[in-house]
Structure 1
Amino acid sequence: MVTRVNLKQAVFQPAAGRRVAELVSAKTTGATGVTCRLVEIYAEDQGGARQPHVHDDFEEVIYVLDGEGKAWVDGEVIDITPGDLIVIPIKAGHRIINPGAGDLRILCFFPAAAVAIP
């Protein structure tokens, strides 16, 4: 069976430095091997200064939908803009930064059906 999810129906919950809508996961759609989240990163001066985190067992793919920001990955910082897709390596410390120039919306994909929201 095909599962269809529309971003317009996203239900957000607050999380550290951002708000998150779990679009696809074991919890929301019964997925057994993937999680996809829509994330809106708060500007740093509005509480968006999230600390780096690590995924020990899988890579993460991040796609930038709207806004401009920075990706910090193991000390390297790159600019990210709409249309960019980045791959975060396994065990790499990382965070996405919204410097405050506007909204920053990303899609995050994990090859796991359930990933805790830190």
Structure 2
Amino acid sequence: MIPVVKSPKDYQAYRISSQDTNRLAIIFDSSNANNSLTVCVEIFDVGGATPPHRHDFAVEMFFILKGEGITVCDGKEIPLHSGDSLLIPKTGTHYLKNTGLERLYALCIMVPNKDFSELIRNGIPASLDEQDLQVLAGIR
């Protein structure tokens, strides 16, 4: 089997809704990885956050690439900084928020996919700007 290789210029970015203050740049999902997973980079504007939500059947992992923020999971608030890892258990009601003075970048992996990438892809196409591409290129 030939591995799938992508670079930041290949990532497709979306906002799930027009009110969202974060973008999701899909790296791999079930459409190109032949597995039930989603790997993306979530990019939070200053003050941006996800709405509180839960995944009934999936585990979600975040690795903070750049920036700082908080996560709240089942009422417990945890600070996040570059280099931190976070594992959200299935059914944990959670959200992430950028509390820093610049964008927050988080690698996100969800297994199994459970329609997560379809939700993202059904959102509003967004672009990655020069700052985003520089941060993403720096993680290689």
Please indicate the TM-score interval, normalised by the length of the shorter structure.
0.7 to 0.9
Q: TM-score, normalised by structure 1?
A: 0.85
Cα separation, 1, equivalents of 2:80 and 2:9? 23
Query: Which AA in structure 2 matches 1:109?
Result: I
Cα separation, 2, equivalents of 1:108 and 1:67? 15
Q: CA deviation at 1:18?
A: 0.5
- CA RMSD between the two structures: 1.8
Q: Where in structure 2 are the equivalents of 1:73-84 lying within 5 Å?
A: 73-84=73-84
Query: Which AA in structure 2 matches 1:10?
Result: Y
Cα separation, 2, equivalents of 1:80 and 1:8? 27
Q: CA deviation at 1:3?
A: 1.3
Aligned residues: 114
**1:67 and 2:70 matched:** no
Query: Which AA in structure 2 matches 1:20?
Result: L
CA pair 75-63 structure 1, distance change in 2 beyond 3 A = same
Write 1 or 2 for the structure with the bigger share of helix: 2
Q: Identify the residue that residue 31 of structure 1 maps to in structure 2.
A: 34
Q: Identify the residue that residue 9 of structure 1 maps to in structure 2.
A: 10
Q: CA deviation at 1:100?
A: 4.2
Q: Identify the residue that residue 135 of structure 2 maps to in structure 1.
A: none
**1:107 and 2:111 matched:** no
Percentage identity across paired residues of the two chains? 25
Q: Identify the residue that residue 55 of structure 1 maps to in structure 2.
A: 55
Query: Which AA in structure 2 matches 1:90?
Result: K
State whether residues 25 and 35 of structure 1, in contact with CA within 8 Å, keep that contact through their aligned partners in structure 2.
yes
Gaps of 5+ in 2: 124-140
